[in-house]
Amino acid sequence: MRSTETPQAAVAPATVPPAGPVLAPGETVRTVRMPGLSLVVRSYEARGGSEPALYLHGLGGSSQNWSLLMAELAEAVAGEAPDLPGFGHSPPPDDGNYSLAGHARAVVRLLDRARRGPVHLFGNSMGGAVAVKVAAARPDLVRTLTLVSPALPEVPPQRTAWPTALASVPGLPRLYLRATRDWPIERRAAALFALCYGDPARVGERARADAAAEYQRRMDLPYSWDALIRSTRGIVNAYTLGGQHALWRQAERVMAPTLLVYGGRDKLVSVRRARRAARAFRDSRLLIIPDSGHVAMMEHPELVARAFRDLLHEVAGREVAAGRVARVVAATDDETGTDTGTDTDTGTGPTTAAATGS
C-alpha cells in the first residue's frame, strides 16, 4: 500500500507488557508475531457463525472496545480484534510508522498471514479510516464493511474535536501533561468518557474503575504518548493527502457493502458528515443513533448488531438471487445451445435509517 506518509523510528524497542488484557467471558487472546511487528489479538468463541470478522479500534483505544459487540454477534460471525501497533497490549512497530497507511499495512499482514479473508471488517474512528484504506486497496480481503464514526476528513473539524487534533502539534501534548499532572487517574478517565460517550452516565462504577486502571497501565508504558501523538499526526496528515491517497477518494473505491453508523451526540466525528459518507460509498446504508456518542458499539451494541444482521441478511439475499439468475441463464443456454453473456446489477443505492437509544 503506497502512501506519501513517511515512517519515523520508534522511541525504543519494547516488549508486550507482562500483564495480559482483561478478557470478557468467552474471549481468548494470542500474540501474532511477524517480522518487525507483533499484534495481540482478542478472539470471541463463535456460537454458530463461521464467517470471519475483524474489528479495528480507534485512537487511544484497544481491542476491548469491541467486546460487547463481539458478544452480540457471536452467533453470526467469528470475531477477532487486534490491538493496533502501539495500542492496547501490542508493542510499537519496529519502524515506528503510526500513519494510517502503516496501520493498514499491519492489518493486511495479519489477514494475509492468517488467511482469514474475506472478512466482515469493522472499524471505529481511526480504525474506521484504516478499514477504508484496507477495503479500497485489498477488496479481496473484505466481504462487508461496517464503520462506526469513521475518522474521514472534516475540515474544519467541529469545535469539540479541536483538542484531539491539537495533540498533533509539537509541544502541545507536553503542555497538556504539565497542566494536568495533578489530576487523579479517575478524573482523566472521566474526561475520556465525557468526550467519547453521548451519555457518560451509562458507564457503571465497575467499568469506570476498570477504565481508570487501564488508563494508568497505558500511561506507565514508555511508548504510550509516542504512539498516541504519532497516530494523531497520522490522521491529520491523511486529511491533507490528495489524489488517489485521499480518504474520500478511497471511500469511493470501496466495493464491499457498507454499513455506516453515526452518533447524534458525537463530539469527535460530526454527524453532519454522515450524509456525505452515504453518498461516497457506492453500496451504503446509514444508521444514525441520536443518543449515541463516538463509540456506538460500546453505548448501543444491540442497535449496531441489529443493523449488521440486517446487512448480512441483505447480502445473503442478493447472493441467492444472483445464484438463481445464473442458473436460469445456464439452463437457457443449454436449451438454446447459445452462449449469452449477462450482466446482473444487484447493487443498491444509499439507504438511511435512524434509531433511538430506547
For residue 346, pLDDT over 90 is answered with: no
Helix 100-114 vs helix 126-137: crossing angle, to nearest 10: 60
Contact 81, 54 (CB under 8 A): yes
Contact 271, 149 (CB under 8 A): no
Contact 287, 261 (CB under 8 A): yes
The pLDDT score that the predictor gives to residue 296 is 98
Confidence of residue 17 (pLDDT cuts 50, 70, 90): very low
The pLDDT score that the predictor gives to residue 319 is 83
For residue 279, pLDDT over 70 is answered with: yes
Say which DSSP state 150 is in: -
- Of the two residues 33 and 7, the one the predictor is more confident about is 33
Measure Cα distances from 14 to 34, 41, 84, 92 in Å.
15, 17, 15, 7
How do residues 195-220 score in pLDDT, each as one tens digit? 999 999 989 999 999 999 998 999 89
The pLDDT score that the predictor gives to residue 9 is 42
Q: Which three cell numbers stand for residue 16?
A: 508486550
Please state, for a pLDDT cut of 90, what percent of the chain lies above it.
65
For residue 94, pLDDT over 50 is answered with: yes
Contact 258, 231 (CB under 8 A): no
The pLDDT score that the predictor gives to residue 151 is 96
Average pLDDT of the residues in 34-39? 97
- Judging by beta carbons within 10 Å of its beta carbon (0-12, 13-18, 19+), is residue 255 exposed, middle or buried? middle
CA distance 81 to 21: 12
Q: pTM for this one? A: 0.84
Task: State which of 12-16, 73-77, 131-135 shows the largest mean pLDDT.
Answer: 131-135
Q: H/E element holding 229?
A: helix 224-240
Domains detected in the chain: 27-318+349-354 (3.40.50.1820)
The pLDDT score that the predictor gives to residue 50 is 75
Is the Cα torsion angle 8, 60, 152, 259 positive or negative in sign?
positive
The pLDDT score that the predictor gives to residue 355 is 53
How do residues 147-191 score in pLDDT, each as one tens digit? 999 999 987 777 776 566 556 566 656 666 667 777 888 998 999
Closest CA to 125 of 273, 291, 305: 273
Measure Cα distances from 223 to 227, 229, 236, 316 in Å.
6, 10, 20, 44
Ramachandran bin of 286, using left for φ above 0, alpha for ψ from -120 to 50, beta for the remaining angles = beta
